[in-house]
Amino acid sequence: MKKIFKGIKGIKIMGNEPLKKHTSFKIGGNAKFFIKVYNQKALLAVMKIIKKYKMKYLIIGEGTNILFSDRGFNGVVIKLMGSFRSIKNSGDVFLCGAGVSIKSFLNKAMKMGYGGAEFLTGIPGSIGGAVKGNAGAFGHAISELIEQLIILDAQLMKKIIPQEKILFAYRYSNIPEHSIIMAVELRMKKLSRRVIQSRIKKYLKIRWEKQPDNYSAGSFFKNPLPLSAGKLIEECGLKGMRIGDAMVSEKHANFIINLGQAKAQDVIKLMKIVKARVKKMKNVSLEPEVRIIL
């Protein structure tokens, strides 16, 4: 079956690849195919084969906001590499490949003397994933910076979509599920390195003080605004609750952490207990922020 992708230049294929190696949760079975794609031409070629054989597929960035099943993924997992990790700028507009890590983008912008995205400091994902989920912190979101997106749509056509044509909300965008974000234009502000470094240092300090450093997928539940998911979970006495090696963090209750050998089923069971307890005691329905692939 691996032969169907044979001859495509600009890719690296791995069969039965353990997904736990590619996620911050360190959880998940094997992907039937795990393909690293290094340019747009290769991506188009891979997607044509996927469409032809009607295969399941999934695009991942840094794997920081996802929980894979213990059974793995019976399809193709695509990781964007190469040109998808390039950053170019023309004045205050930065063209970032979807595979660029947030950390790399912030560092590059700072070196060029541009800021305005420091609120993203410490979020360990990729630019593409951040845009898809409208990532943010400290009262700001990445949608505030977006000029336009370059996507591969469901018909495998390359399209440029201006920011005003996309609906963004808290941890949400209406970018079609079967479109692939290839690059993003972000508008930054000219600032001194000293100011940018000061902001980054401040935000990192806040994160280090509040968030656990165990394996996790970041904040597990969306905040049911104006309430805090972490505070609700803590008030329900759930800090430290554990199933197997999956545990509600004692440092921050909105983190479900992997103590080392957690299974996806342990995380799911714990998630359901947390949701049920918060609903019963606080009459609030929590919604996962983490993408769960069963």
Catalytic site residue 171?
Answer: yes
Task: Choose, from 85, 147, 171, 235, the residue flagged as catalytic.
Answer: 171
Give the list of residues 6+ apart from residue 232 with CB closer than 8 angstroms, or none.
Answer: 224, 278, 282, 284, 286
Distance CA 250, CA 97 (A): 36
Rounded Cα–Cα distance for residues 233 and 210 (Å): 15
Q: Which residue's structure tokens are 């490949």? A: 97
Closest among 146, 188, 140 to 164, alpha carbons compared: 146
Which amino acid, one-letter code, is at 27?
Answer: I
Nearest-CA neighbor of 156 among 57, 74, 65, 83? Answer: 57
Distance CA 48, CA 180 (A): 13
- Residue 135 tokens read as 């990532």
Residue of 143, 216, 219, 249 marked active site: 219
Catalytic residue among 17, 62, 185, 289: 289
Is 289 annotated in the active site?
yes
Rounded Cα–Cα distance for residues 250 and 214 (Å) = 11
Rounded Cα gap, residues 177 and 65, in angstroms: 16
Cα–Cα nearest to 162, from 178, 180, 175, 177: 175
Give bridge partners of residue 12 from the DSSP assignment: 36
Annotation marks residue 219 as catalytic: yes
Which residues does the annotation mark as catalytic? 171, 219, 289
